[in-house]
Amino acid sequence: MKTNGEVKPGRILKLKESIKHTFNNEELLDMSKSCARTHQELDALNGEKDRVVADFKAQIQSKENSINDYSRRISNGYEYRMVECELHYHDPSKGMKTLFRVDTGDEVRSTKMEAHEMQDVLFEEPANFGSEVVRSAVDQINAGILNTKDLTVTAKVGRINQPDWVDNPHGKKEKSPRA
């Protein structure tokens, strides 16, 4: 209700206005605690973000590595794999050796035999003589270590590599007779 542009005396209008408020000590303490708590929550979120980013980075790197591996194999058209094979001596002729794949029977390669491969194995398995000396000699003979240039075997069997302690018949260690 307007009357000649004047407000009637005694009339009160309620409204809200932004005016300066000075905080008391209790309000300042509450805001300080809230600020500290919010800062801790922010640090926790940043830490979680760093872990998630690191996890995604590792996942991305893994996928990039897989792509690079596939690309290399596709580009090359092959890869090397461990495949069960058989090595045939004196095949296709004397002094030659040929490697065959067991799964397909395909020939992998054929090469000249080495000098130590030309000698037949004397013992498939070292006999259980109970002596490290005999086992050592058998291993050396089978490996061609004791061969001379004319492929004869020269072996000197002595007390080489004989242990100071041996197993007795009851499974206990005892001092070797030579020690």
138 and 123 together in one domain: yes
CB atoms within 10 A of CB 102: 10
What residues make up the domain containing 134? 115-179
Residue 15 lies in a domain: no
| pLDDT tens figures, 134-151 | 677 677 777 766 655 555
Residue 13 lies in a domain: no
Decide if pLDDT at 1 tops 90.
no
| pLDDT tens figures, 93-120 | 999 999 999 999 999 999 999 988 888 7
46 and 104 together in one domain: no
Q: What is the mean pLDDT of residues 74-96?
A: 92
Structural domains of the chain, count = 3
Residue 17 has, within 13 A of its CA and on its CB side, a CA count of 5
70 and 95 together in one domain: no
103 and 122 together in one domain: no
| The pTM of the whole model exceeds 0.75 | no
pLDDT of 124: 55
CA separation for the pair 30, 35 (Å, rounded): 9
**Tokens 């004196």 map to which residue?**
90
pLDDT of 88: 92
Residue 4 lies in a domain: no
**Rounded to whole angstroms, what are the CA distances from 141 to 112, 136, 146?**
21, 9, 6
Q: What is the mean pLDDT of residues 55-84?
A: 96
CA angle 167, 136, 129 (to 5 degrees): 45
pLDDT of 13: 87
Residue 6 lies in a domain: no
Tokens for 96? 């030659």
125 and 103 together in one domain: no
Tokens for 150? 């004319």
Instruction: Read off the pLDDT band of 66 (50, 70, 90).
Output: very high
Phi first, then psi: give them for residue 59, nearest 5 degrees: -65, -40
Residue 144 lies in a domain: yes
Positive or negative: CA dihedral 39, 44, 48, 50: positive
Percent residues over pLDDT 70 in the chain: 68
Q: What is the mean pLDDT of residues 40-63?
A: 97
pLDDT of 35: 97
Positive or negative: CA dihedral 78, 80, 82, 87: positive
